[in-house]
Structure 1
Amino acid sequence: MLPREDLLAGAQNPEGLTLLVDLAEQVLRTWQPAWSPFLSAPLREEALARLGSLSELTWMSDGGYPGAERQRLLCHRRDDSPDAEPPIQGLLIEGNFLFDPLSPDDLREALQAMGVDADTIGDLWVRGDRGGQGVCTPNAAEALHGRLGAVREVEIRCESLPLEQLQHPVQRSVRTLQTVEASCRLDAIASAGFGLSRAKIVTHVKTGRLRLNWGNVRQASRELVVGDRLQLQDRGSVEVLSLTRTKRERWRVELRRS
């Protein structure tokens, strides 16, 4: 058996991590590889940090396309070479949103209202004013295929798609940039990192589109430190690599944009 208490001690998400410890013990007991449900990015990172060093097990992650935020984990024994083809299916969600702007969260809520569990749904993204696309488990795709639902007053129709037919969100190349700021405030660094005005950054904070280390942030004036990561919906992420005080009492900030 695994040292469960040690693995869970101080966990940020003990409930989610417990499910993954259960999965690991199942793999050790049955010798059969197993996939987790779709996991949030913070839970996946915490799981890999805590469980990745287990001597008998190996973990692989896949979200259906490069750069996916929500991903599934495959757990298998180190001496095993399982078929790593991920059990993930594409999903087309059609609707007329010309006069009713749509967000990924709107799509997620609508799919859950149609009876699929939250952990069977991966990333979802908007495709103009005609609806969106996303990824989910094969069982969820089968349950949703051909069905009608609604986002507010707009009717939607779901269709299962092969992954290769999806039009993935734009993937940004990783680059490093430097800026000099008067402070280490979140709004100042986010403005430089994402190339947006501070006023727009404040708006994104208020609407919940901008997150800090995958969590909600309430104050645009919050001071950032090295290692902090900002995630902005549909705009990628920015990581603080270094903060150096200049002779003029300003801050030279090195960032990684992805």
Structure 2
Amino acid sequence: MKNRTEILRALAQDEDDRLLLARLLDRLDASENYPTATRFLSPRERTLAEDAVRLAGAASRCAFFGGWEDAERTVALLFPGWMDAADAAAAAPIALLRAEKSPADTLSHRDYLGSLMGLQIERAMVGDILVHDAGADLFVLREAAEFLLLHFDRVGRRRITLSEIPLSELRRAETAETSGEGSVASLRLDSVAALIFGLPRAQAQEAVAHGSVYLNGRVCLKPDHEIAAGDRLTLRGKGRARVEALGGMSRKGRQFLRFTRSAP
């Protein structure tokens, strides 16, 4: 177990990291008495938060939740030892808003996010935005929901209707999913990512080094990390994938695997 100073020294790479971690550790101290939560974290920020909580010896009092099981942006839920993660998730300060548009309008994730930023909403107040044919479902912090329900009525020049709905009524983003299979020399992260996303091995290694590859929701900077069946990979700008099954070995010693992939 490390103290606050040691954690900041070990993990913070710049002033933004230091501020993020300091706020997290403040909330972690407070959570010994009552549950609390951070704002929405990016995958990299989540990795920092997970490492900080682990170093503080409090991993059992922390969970991450973004409103649905495949969330990319999540809040860190911090809670007392007598509370469990399910109860903390049920009390998470997250609201789900549904934006409905005209069938004639075509609006992208960038359109919705840009309009939210135009209302001076901080990025950390907004979680995943799932675009579908009828509009989009947006996860936001509850503290921002009332303001948005009053003021978020246009995306660009297009009018929308906004309402709050239960988390259970989420409409998934409609993305085409494809299945594939192939073989790799080894189950290293860079090799598997190169196969799934159709990249040269060197380009996959570069993506890992730059923090653009996420493994099971965490940034993974280890190109030699061994992949297992069920692992979820995300490559920024290329989409998401899941390793469905590992097959046998070829006569040349290559590992077969099956995967599904969806576009970004």
TM-score by length of 2: 0.66
Specify the alignment match of 1:73 in structure 2.
76
* 1-structure distance, mates of 2:61, 2:21: 16
Q: Secondary structure of the residue that 2:31 maps to in structure 1?
A: helix
Structure with greater helix share of residues: 2
Secondary structure of the equivalent of 2:79?
strand
Amino acid at match of 2:48: E
Contact 1:144 1:159 in 2 (8 A): no
Matched residue, 2:124: 119
Q: Which residue of 2 aligns with 1:143?
A: 147
Q: How does 1:146-157 map to 2 (within 5 A)?
A: 146-157=150-161
After superposition, the Cα gap between the structure-2 partners of 1:185 and 1:123, relative to the gap in structure 1 and judged at 3 Å, is closer
**Within the alignment, does 1:189 sit opposite 2:196 as a pair?**
yes
- The answer to whether structure 1 residue 89 and structure 2 residue 95 are counterparts is yes
Given candidates 54, 57, 61, the residue that maps to 1:58 is 61
Please name the residue that 1:221 is paired with: none
Q: Is the 8 A contact 2:98 2:165 kept in 1?
A: yes
- Is residue 213 of structure 1 aligned with residue 214 of structure 2? yes
Distance 1:164 1:113 in 2: 29
- The Cα RMSD (Å) is 4.2
Structure 2: runs of 5+ lacking an equivalent = 204-211, 216-222, 228-232
Query: Matches of residues 1-258 of structure 1 in structure 2 within 5 Å?
Result: 3-8=3-8, 9-11=10-12, 13-28=17-32, 31-52=33-54, 54-55=56-57, 58-80=61-83, 83-84=87-88, 85=90, 86-96=92-102, 98=104, 100=106, 102-128=107-133, 130-169=134-173, 179-180=182-183, 184=191, 188-191=195-198, 211-213=212-214, 225-227=224-226, 229-231=233-235, 235-238=239-242, 252=255, 254=257
Number of residues paired by the alignment?
A: 225
> In structure 2, what is the Cα distance between the partners aligned to 1:124 and 1:139?
17
- Displacement, 1:45? 2.8
Give the partner amino acid of 2:149. H
Q: Distance in 2 between matches of 1:234 and 1:140?
A: 30
Cα displacement (A) at 1:92: 1.0
Residues 64 and 77, structure 2, Cα contact 8 Å, conserved in 1: yes
Cα distance, 1:190 vs. partner? 1.2
Contact between 1:67 and 1:171, CA under 8 Å: does it hold in 2? no
Q: Deviations over 1:169-206 (max 9, x none)?
A: 47999x9x862269949554313xxxxxx7xxx9xxxx
CA distance in 2, matches of 1:14, 1:232: 24
Tell me if the contact between 1:65 and 1:168 (Cα under 8 Å) persists in the aligned partners: no
Cα distance, 1:144 vs structure 2: 1.0
Q: Cα 1:26–1:186, aligned 2, differ >3 Å: closer, same or farther?
A: same
Q: Confirm or deny: 8 A CA contact 1:181 1:253 kept in the other structure.
A: yes
Amino acid at match of 1:16: L
* Native 8 Å contact 1:20 1:47 kept in 2: yes
CA distance in 1, matches of 2:213, 2:57: 32
User: Which ranges of structure 1 fall in alignment gaps of 5 or more residues?
Assistant: 192-197, 203-210, 215-223
